[in-house]
């Protein structure tokens, strides 16, 4: 399985403590730039509960120290670290993607 | 099946309670219950009769619906009454000619108002105060009156006086005795009560004996034995009750020397097959004119019928606590010393309007009784001490002294024995409540209430029930916390106070100084809302704190698209402006719909389309409608006196003025308002957070109504006030709500949990009891002065606009958003995944 690091734009394009959606090889990926320890996270943009492309528009926070995003539609929360569904109810986990910052640009690793 | 016929004569509160208890207990279905009710409606809550004037309906007051009787197979005969009992052949006959055989009779005929035999008492304009029909007649007659005199300064008389005052009548109370509520309070307590009542604009006349009622066909004045005269347009008599014993007398059943159906401790009359319960009864020379003893009697008879022949009634406690015109009045046990040896402890504070007296045995160990006026918050614990003959603390004064928060009161709820009565209406003990929590999984006060029925009668025990629940939770180590979330130990109200007091205006500072972690979907929007309420900056200055809708200044829909709602203050719009909306709808192919708040909703806009749509709307003169925010939504109106032939004030202009004044105001939850131009109430103001209804003399202001999940009729805050006062009161009310409510708590829910309820709110908003009104008004003025259209602000800020794109690295649209068409407009295409769910 081949993977590739894809440049998704300059760091300055990504607002702090907010989500953004990037398009990578036709795929929608939500990117989060957290000011806490300057951490970056990437997860699928699709909320598995109602199958809508909205997670990048969710509010971010933490559950017992673990960073999470909360879907704007029905408030399902997912760990940004490992994609696990961390709120109440029976909802699938989500996919996470490796992410790194190099020379002022943001890169995502995806299967090609 | 061979059932025994039980005929319950009278379907008042006690008669109903008997039906309920017997049908619950009669699991073997030995009994067929048949009940006669002479009124049009089955039993209703007569104790709360005056709530009818505050907008409660007959249904609200009803104890149970007609269906309830059907479900329990109880035969209910409305508008019919038993007029004779044939004790030999064991049959009863009703006024409508129905004859039924009986095995047992339970007389619950209640009482009738005592009407003093004064000349002229039969004139038009003289009323009694007992049934819903009486109230309806009073309301109808009051329309042509300006003044009212209530004869009787007892409990019911004062209730009636309050009702008359609510009808807009200048009201006086006339009492024969030298003090108000002679049965419940002593002289000094009565004096305090009189002063508290008179501060509310009502005149109280004591030692007055009515001699004559003056008037041609209808009443115009009253003359008294002291030769004084009071002019009045109407009279309400509430001079005590007389037990209704006429049927008993006619049937040869023994009655008391001063009236009342005589019963023994088994509640049997002189006929072994006939019981009597409630206010028609005389037992031990006493008539029990309260509902709780009636319920206890009902219980005792049910017990006997279902096999516990030992169940008896041996008198009941006449302790009582009530609220009269916003004033607490309570008494228990003796109200006057019964002999010289007992001691009294008195706290009499004219400055705070509080009077408390305790009667204590000579040895200082036992509480014999007491009177509380102005503040009865200790009633529950004092009653327990009295009823359970608990040992008093060394200084019993500590029981009634104003309590510091950090000082423990003398006796806690934990000290009560399990047999202590928590709810006397429903006969629920402390042990019953603890059992409900422990063994019945009741995990909230409301669960305990619905399981045990405690607190569902007069409601007076709810504070104690809540204390008991919290005590039990604390004892079990279960914390009942009002902390917002794992990041803040503060409640929303406390967070608001921190922000106001410190001026902290960033979430980073707030969580660093008062919380922990990085925040979440609970605390961030709460802080964002508080910042907006306090500082009124555009909310996208704190974009990372905004939740679903606020994050993009639009309402997110199930498919991830948004709706656009331009503000249309008061629902007034020109054809030209309508055409702008129509053109936007056509150009962007949006689904258009009229909202419930007199606006137009444009749905199906993609995130990237929002700025372009709003640019057109704003250039045409629209402003954000804040339909996405926990903020003022709309102030709905009718066309008022401008067009309507019934309108008495210009409701449209006021609605527009109010909507413009409060637009953009951020609050714990959404706020809706309405203004109606007359009492026909076409704008539905009484189901709004604030509602204004025009009167001939000005405006009536209602607050804390709600449609939605749990509809709630708004409360009347003030009547016949002018426009400036309307605005002043709404300013104060809204800011007080914003200051104290929990997150996502609508005003209706806030009111239901507000300690002191409407009386407290009136005291704060009208009388400035907390001395915060100038602060509340200044805060509101700040919000009004700094109003800025959020969409205009965003369109002028390239940084904010950056987020209104689906992809940060591409100009493509989100191809997963797809529509189909229905009735010539777009609708979201159901996602296959959604269809499966």
Contact B567, B663 (CB under 8 A): yes
Which tokens belong to B82?
């038993």
Contacts of A50 in chain B (CB under 8 A): 558, 831, 833-834, 837
Q: Alpha carbon B491 to chain centroid distance?
A: 24
Of B108-122, B250-264, B373-387, B778-792, give the lowest mean pLDDT range: B373-387
Q: What distance in Å separates residue B815's CA from the closest CA in chain A? A: 10
Q: How confident is the model at residue B590 (pLDDT cuts 50, 70, 90)?
A: very high
B544:A60 CB<8 A: yes
Long-range CB contacts for residues A6-11, cutoff 8 Å, separation at least 24: A6/A107, A6/A108, A6/A109, A6/A110, A7/A105, A7/A106, A7/A107, A8/A105, A8/A106, A8/A107, A8/A108, A8/B808, A8/B809, A9/A105, A9/A106, A9/B808, A9/B809, A10/A104, A10/A105, A10/A106, A11/A101, A11/A104, A11/A105, A11/A106
Tally A–B CB contacts below 8 A: 109
A9:B806 CB<8 A: no
- In this predicted model, what pLDDT tens digit does every residue of B119-130 receive, in sequence order? 999 999 999 998
Q: What is the mean pLDDT of chain B?
A: 90
The partner residue sitting opposite B521, judged by closest CB among A31, A34, A59, is A59
- In this predicted model, what pLDDT tens digit does every residue of B299-336 receive, in sequence order? 999 999 998 888 899 888 778 888 777 788 999 988 88
B560:A77 CB<8 A: no
Give the rounded percent of residues in chain B with a pLDDT score beyond 70: 97
Of A76-80, B412-416, B621-625, give the lowest mean pLDDT range: B412-416
Q: How confident is the model at residue B36 (pLDDT cuts 50, 70, 90)?
A: very high
What kind and span of H or E run contains B198?
Answer: helix B187-198
To test the contact with chain A by mutation, choose from B560, B562, B831 the residue with the greatest count of A C-beta atoms within 10 A, namely B560
Q: What is the pLDDT of residue B479?
A: 62
- What is the bridge-based pairing of β-strands B354-360 and B343-349? antiparallel
What kind and span of H or E run contains B60?
Answer: helix B58-61
Over residues B497-521, the mean pLDDT reads: 93
CATH architecture for segment(s) B4-112+243-305: 3-Layer(bba) Sandwich (3.50)
Q: How confident is the model at residue A87 (pLDDT cuts 50, 70, 90)?
A: confident
The partner residue sitting opposite A72, judged by closest CB among B519, B520, B548, is B548
Look up tokens 């014993």; give the residue: B245
- How buried is residue B494: exposed, middle or buried, by Cβ count under 10 Å (0-12/13-18/19+)? middle
- In this predicted model, what pLDDT tens digit does every residue of A26-46 receive, in sequence order? 899 999 999 887 899 999 999
* pLDDT above 50 (res B833): no
B486:A63 CB<8 A: yes
Closest to B738 measured CA to CA, from B630, B636, B651, B824: B630
Q: Which CATH class is domain B555-785?
A: alpha beta
Interface of B with A in 516-555 (CB under 8 A): 517-521, 523-525, 543-549, 551-552
Of B215-219, B461-465, B573-577, give the lowest mean pLDDT range: B461-465
Q: In sequence order, what E strands does A45-112 have?
A: 46-47, 52-53, 59-63, 66-70, 77-79, 96-97, 99-102, 105-111
* pLDDT above 70 (res B832): no
- What's the complex ipTM? 0.95
Give the integer Cα–Cα distance in Å for B719 and B735.
21
Interface of A with B in 61-80 (CB under 8 A): 61-65, 67-68, 70, 72-73, 75, 77
Closest to B792 measured CA to CA, from B592, B556, B574, B626: B626
Q: Which residue has the higher pLDDT, B612 or B449?
A: B612
Q: How many CA atoms lie within 13 A of B698 on its CB side?
A: 13
A57:B607 CB<8 A: yes
CB proximity B340 to A under 8 Å? no
* pLDDT above 60 (res A85): yes
B809:A36 CB<8 A: no
- In this predicted model, what pLDDT tens digit does every residue of B595-610 receive, in sequence order? 999 999 999 999 999 9
Of A33-42, B106-115, B384-393, B551-560, give the lowest mean pLDDT range: B384-393
Contact B31, B312 (CB under 8 A): no
Over residues B461-486, the mean pLDDT reads: 79
- In this predicted model, what pLDDT tens digit does every residue of B663-717 receive, in sequence order? 999 999 999 999 999 999 999 999 999 999 999 999 999 999 998 767 899 999 9
Task: Write down the domain spans for chain B.
Answer: 4-112+243-305, 115-239, 555-785
- In this predicted model, what pLDDT tens digit does every residue of B137-164 receive, in sequence order? 999 999 999 999 999 998 889 889 988 9
Q: Alpha carbon A7 to chain centroid distance?
A: 15
A3-111: which CATH number, 3.40.50.10790, 2.102.10.10, 3.30.1130.10, 3.40.50.1370? 2.102.10.10
Q: Which CATH superfamily is domain B115-239 in?
A: FAD/NAD(P)-binding domain (3.50.50.60)
């Amino acid at each position: 399985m081949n993977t590739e690091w894809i440049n998704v734009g300059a760091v300055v394009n990504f607002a702090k403590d907010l989500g953004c959606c990037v398009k990578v090889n036709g795929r929608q990926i939500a990117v989060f730039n957290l000011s806490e320890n300057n951490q970056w996270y990437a997860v699928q943009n699709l909320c598995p509960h109602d199958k809508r492309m909205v997670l990048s528009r969710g509010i971010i926070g933490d559950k017992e120290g673990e960073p999470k995003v909360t879907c704007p539609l029905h408030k399902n929360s997912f760990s940004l670290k490992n994609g696990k569904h961390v709120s109440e109810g029976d909802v699938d986990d989500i996919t996470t993607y490796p992410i790194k910052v190099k020379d002022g640009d943001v890169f995502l690793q995806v299967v090609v | 099946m061979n059932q025994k016929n039980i005929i319950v004569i009278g379907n008042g509160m006690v008669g109903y309670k008997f039906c309920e208890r017997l049908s619950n207990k009669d699991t073997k279905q030995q009994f067929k219950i048949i009940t006669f009710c002479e009124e049009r409606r089955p039993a209703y809550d007569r104790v709360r009769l005056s709530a009818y004037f505050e907008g409660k309906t007959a249904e609200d007051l009803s104890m149970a619906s007609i269906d309830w009787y059907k479900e329990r197979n109880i035969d209910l005969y409305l508008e019919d009454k038993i007029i004779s009992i044939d004790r030999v052949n064991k049959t009863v006959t009703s006024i409508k000619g129905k004859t039924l055989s009986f095995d047992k009779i339970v007389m619950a005929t209640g009482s009738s108002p005592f009407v003093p035999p004064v000349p002229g008492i039969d004139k038009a304009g003289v009323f009694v105060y007992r049934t819903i029909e009486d109230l309806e007649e009073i309301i109808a007659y009051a329309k042509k009156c300006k003044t009212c005199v209530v004869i009787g300064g007892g409990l019911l008389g004062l209730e009636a006086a309050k009702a008359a005052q609510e009808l807009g009548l200048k009201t006086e109370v006339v009492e024969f005795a030298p003090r108000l509520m002679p049965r419940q309070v002593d002289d000094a307590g009565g004096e305090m009560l009189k002063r508290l009542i008179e501060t509310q604009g009502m005149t109280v006349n004591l030692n007055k004996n009515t001699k004559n009622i003056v008037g041609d066909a209808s009443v115009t004045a009253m003359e008294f034995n002291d030769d004084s005269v009071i002019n009045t347009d109407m009279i309400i008599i509430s001079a005590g009750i007389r037990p209704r014993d006429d049927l008993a007398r006619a049937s040869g059943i023994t009655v008391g020397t001063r009236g009342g159906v005589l019963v023994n401790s088994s509640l049997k009359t002189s006929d072994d097959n006939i019981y009597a319960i409630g206010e028609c009864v005389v037992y031990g020379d006493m008539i029990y004119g309260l509902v709780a003893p009636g319920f206890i009697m009902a219980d005792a008879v049910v017990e006997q019928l279902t096999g516990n022949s030992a169940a008896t009634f041996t008198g009941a406690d006449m302790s009582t606590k009530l609220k009269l015109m916003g004033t607490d009045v309570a008494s228990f046990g003796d109200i006057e010393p019964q002999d010289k040896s007992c001691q009294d402890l008195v706290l009499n504070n004219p400055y705070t309007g509080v009077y408390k007296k305790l009667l204590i045995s000579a040895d200082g160990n036992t509480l014999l009784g007491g009177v509380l006026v102005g503040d009865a918050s200790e009633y529950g614990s004092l009653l327990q001490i009295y009823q359970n003959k608990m040992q008093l603390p060394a200084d019993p004064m500590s029981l009634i002294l104003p309590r510091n928060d950090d000082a423990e009161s003398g006796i806690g709820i934990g000290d009560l024995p399990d047999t202590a009565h928590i709810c006397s209406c429903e006969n629920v003990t402390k042990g019953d409540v603890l059992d409900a929590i422990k063994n019945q999984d009741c995990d909230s006060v409301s669960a305990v209430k619905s399981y045990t029925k405690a607190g569902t009668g007069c409601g007076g025990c709810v504070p104690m029930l809540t204390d008991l629940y919290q005590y039990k939770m604390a004892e079990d180590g279960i914390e009942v916390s009002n902390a917002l979330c794992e990041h803040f130990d503060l409640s929303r109200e406390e967070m608001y106070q921190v922000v106001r007091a410190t001026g902290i205006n960033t979430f980073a500072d707030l969580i660093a100084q008062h919380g922990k972690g990085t925040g979440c979907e609970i605390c961030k929007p709460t802080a964002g809302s508080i910042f907006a309420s306090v500082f009124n900056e555009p909310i996208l200055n704190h974009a990372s704190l905004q939740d679903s809708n606020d994050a993009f200044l639009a309402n997110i829909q199930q498919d991830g698209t948004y709706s656009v709602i331009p503000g249309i203050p008061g629902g007034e719009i020109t054809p030209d402006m309508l055409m702008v909306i129509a053109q936007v709808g056509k150009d962007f192919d949006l689904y258009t719909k009229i909202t419930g708040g007199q606006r137009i909703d444009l749905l199906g806009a993609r995130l990237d389309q929002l700025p372009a749509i709003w640019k057109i709307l704003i250039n045409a003169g629209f402003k954000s409608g804040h339909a996405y925010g926990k903020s003022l939504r709309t102030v709905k109106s009718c066309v008022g006196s401008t067009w309507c032939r019934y309108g008495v004030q210009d409701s449209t202009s006021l609605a527009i003025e109010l909507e413009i004044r409060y637009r953009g105001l951020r609050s714990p939850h959404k706020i809706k308002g309405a203004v109606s131009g007359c009492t026909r109430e076409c704008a539905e103001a009484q189901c709004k957070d604030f509602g204004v209804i025009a009167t001939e003399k000005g405006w009536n202001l209602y607050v804390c109504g709600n449609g939605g999940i749990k509809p709630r009729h708004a409360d009347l805050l003030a009547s016949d006030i002018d426009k400036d006062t309307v605005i002043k009161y709404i300013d104060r009310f809204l800011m007080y709500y914003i200051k104290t409510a929990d997150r996502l708590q609508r005003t209706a829910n806030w009111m239901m949990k507000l300690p002191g309820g409407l009386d407290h709110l009136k005291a704060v908003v009208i009388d400035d009891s907390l001395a915060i009104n100038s602060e509340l008004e200044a805060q509101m003025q700040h919000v009004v002065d700094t109003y800025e259209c959020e969409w205009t602000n965003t369109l002028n800020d390239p940084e904010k606009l950056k987020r209104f794109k689906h992809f940060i690295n591409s100009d493509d649209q989100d191809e997963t958003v797809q529509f189909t068409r229905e009735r010539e407009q777009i609708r979201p295409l159901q996602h296959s995944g959604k269809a499966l769910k």
